Amino acid sequence: MMKLKTLLTSLIFCCIITVFDILMVEELFRPLALWSEIHVYHQALWCFLVPCLIAFISVLTKNVFFAAYSIVMCYCGLEDILYFVFQLKMPPQWFTWLNFPHSCPHVLELLALSLSLIIVIYVAERMVAKRG
């Protein structure tokens, strides 16, 4: 179980960010029809708050793998999928709002990308742990 501590901590962090995002968008921006300003919220959240929190927690815990897992979970589509799952909604097939070069990613592409990167990070974390 201890081997999964960092991975699970990052997953909890991603879930907290997702719940915060749902509350802000669905309970503030949607009811008040503030869509013209949602880009400011998204920039503040994804370009400032989340990276600062990841960096702060990583430095505080002296765990670079927390940063790696959290970046993958929050920025490679897992948070976008959880956004819908937590609301008991089916995620869309295509994530048109994500900035991928030349196309918008399919939900399965996002899952494959996130899971493969998480596996790579996990293997790297185990290799570092074995070295001592």
Model confidence pLDDT, tens digit, residues 57-79: 999 999 999 999 999 999 888 89
Model confidence pLDDT, tens digit, residues 103-122: 667 778 888 888 899 999 99
pLDDT of residue 102: 61
Write down the pTM of the prediction: 0.85
Cα distance between residue 120 and residue 53, in whole Å: 23
Tokens of 51: 């990276």
Model confidence pLDDT, tens digit, residues 3-15: 789 999 999 999 9
pLDDT of residue 19: 97
Type of residue numbered 28: L
For 81, the 3-state DSSP assignment is helix
